[in-house]
Amino acid sequence: MLTLAFYLLVAALFPLAIGTEPPLLARIGPGVIWVGALLAAFLSLPSLFSTDFADGTLEQMVLSPHPIAGWVCGKVAAHWLSSGLPLTLLAPLLGLQYGLPTDVLAMLVAALALGTPILSLLGGACAALALGARGGGMLLALLALPLFVPVLVFGAGAAEAQSAGLSAAPHLSLLGAGLILAAMATPFAIGTALRIALD
Amino acid sequence: MNWFYFSSPSTFFGLAGRLAPIFFALAAVLAAVGLYVGFFVAPTDATQGESYRIIFLHVPAAWMSMFLYFILACYGTMSLVFNSRLAAMMARSIAPTGALFTFIALWSGAFWGRPTWGTYWVWDARLTSELVLLFLYFGYIALANAFDDPRRGDRASALLAIIGIVNLPIIYFSVYWWNTLHQGSSVKLTGTTMHVTMFTGMILMAFACWMYAIGASLTRCRTLILEREGRTRWVRALQKSA
């Protein structure tokens, strides 16, 4: 819930800061919604593994005979269900407030649905790497946000192409490819990072 | 022949001490020749005038920024797979030089952009991805130093370096994928569209930067070895003899 409130507030700050002319808002809408989603997804990352790390649950999970990647997938899926999915579902409402046309809204939701799982996967890897490090939150921002950039570029690009009357298919294809790649590689990377954290 | 002879920090310390001055000397000679060719031999560019001469620093720095990240990730992989201390120390030693070259590429690019494009900065694909590379280097350095146990920092940062390598193809191909302000590459495997002396100057400077990067990394690695191995017998013997 806090994630959603944060998301709505970020989106509400932009019209206050840069003016409320409808053409301007429609122009920046997709980008603002994407940046808001990215920051909101980032906000809940520090707590992804830290409580389990502190109370020893993580150690039990790593020691258990079941593959660690499976348990990691569950954690990442939980993160996406509690941040990425609500952000995606809320995006049309914000898009309407920014005056986006219906086809752009649909494209924005499609791009967010493909892109936010990548954010959860990459962010999970960064959260696992930063476990037990000094300067937690700021360090995590320095690790995660540069890795989020390609997702942001292609995600906002899809809605932008749609509103410019071009095909958004290449952007969505790249996002889909990124999602497949991230889903295949990052659970193992997160598992390795957790093992490093517990050494 | 024992291939792993120099993988022990104590033997590598001596080897790096002997090699580093050679690489620095090579860098100085190549840079002197390269700058001479660049400033006095190479002709003025037909479209960009004299301002193009910054390529003799800009292009080699940009090449090195990407190449060093690749080498950094290779050493990171070696340190994770073989659990080798020296590979981890080499990865850490390369990172500041890589960040330096990334910064030089961005900075010199801004000064090149002002007279030729009319602006210091645009949010162009290649410029932005190079800026992201700088933050990847910063993130790597910050993560490597964020743990009390240096070996944990080694392993966590090695994994980060491997994850971050997905950014490299994006930078490299950005001038082909997006048709934005940054000009396309003038140098290809099949030949170059540049005047031959311009190309010579640039290649000489690229080798100078390369030699400097090796020399600086070896020197930094020696410092790291002394810091990490401070309690071992050979370092104490070294201190006594010094």
Instruction: Kindly report, residue by residue over A5-23, the tens digit of the pLDDT.
Output: 888 888 888 888 887 778 8
More confident residue, B50 or B150: B150
What is the pLDDT, as a whole number, of residue B191?
Answer: 60
Q: Which residues of B touch A149 (CB under 8 A)?
A: 128-129, 132
What is the pLDDT, as a whole number, of residue A136?
Answer: 73
Going by pLDDT thresholds of 50, 70 and 90, the confidence category of residue A97 is: confident
More confident residue, B225 or B199: B225
| Nearest-Cα residue of chain A relative to residue B174 | A150
Sequence-distant (≥ 6) Cβ neighbours of residue B191 within 8 angstroms: none
Write down the pTM of the prediction.
Answer: 0.87
Instruction: State the complex-level ipTM.
Output: 0.83
Taking the Cβ of residue B155 and every Cβ of chain A, the question of whether any pair is shorter than 8 Å is answered with: yes
Instruction: Kindly report, residue by residue over A153-191, the tens digit of the pLDDT.
Output: 888 888 888 777 777 788 888 889 889 988 888 888 898
A133 vs B159: CB contact, 8 Å cut-off? no
What is the pLDDT, as a whole number, of residue A154?
Answer: 84
CA dist A19 and A13 (Å) reads 10
What is the pLDDT, as a whole number, of residue A8?
Answer: 86
Q: Give the gap in angstroms from C-alpha B146 to the nearest C-alpha of chain A.
A: 5
A196 vs B170: CB contact, 8 Å cut-off? no
* DSSP state at residue B49: B
Per DSSP, helices labelled H in chain A are 2-18, 22-43, 47-55, 57-63, 68-79, 85-97, 102-129, 136-163, 169-198
- What residue ranges do the domains of chain B occupy? 16-42+50-186+209-241
Taking the Cβ of residue A132 and every Cβ of chain B, the question of whether any pair is shorter than 8 Å is answered with: yes
What is the pLDDT, as a whole number, of residue A180?
Answer: 92
A199 vs B167: CB contact, 8 Å cut-off? no
Q: Which residues of B touch A143 (CB under 8 A)?
A: 139, 142-143, 160
Instruction: Kindly report, residue by residue over A102-142, the tens digit of the pLDDT.
Output: 888 888 888 899 999 999 999 999 999 888 888 777 888 88
Instruction: Kindly report, residue by residue over B130-181, the tens digit of the pLDDT.
Output: 888 899 999 999 999 888 888 888 889 999 999 888 878 877 777 666 655 6
Size of interface A-B (CB pairs under 8 A): 67
Instruction: Kindly report, residue by residue over B68-126, the tens digit of the pLDDT.
Output: 999 999 999 998 888 888 889 999 999 999 999 999 999 988 888 888 777 788 777 77
Structure token digits, residue B66: 């990407």
- Give me the half-sphere count of Cα atoms (radius 13 Å) on the Cβ side of residue A31: 10
Burial track B63-93 (b if 16+ CB lie within 10 A, e otherwise): bbbbbbbebbbbbbbbbbeeebbbbbbbbbb
Whether the pLDDT of residue B38 is over 60: the answer is yes
| Of B123, B102, B133, the residue nearest B182 (C-alpha) | B123
Taking the Cβ of residue A139 and every Cβ of chain B, the question of whether any pair is shorter than 8 Å is answered with: yes
| Nearest-Cα residue of chain B relative to residue A136 | B146
CA dist B176 and A100 (Å) reads 31
Cβ-nearest to A142 among B80, B139, B166: B139
Q: Which of B77, B131, B154, B159 to mutate to test the interface with A (most CBs of A within 10 A)?
A: B159
Kind plus residue range of the DSSP H or E element containing B188: strand B187-188
Instruction: Kindly report, residue by residue over B182-203, the tens digit of the pLDDT.
Output: 666 666 555 666 677 888 888 8
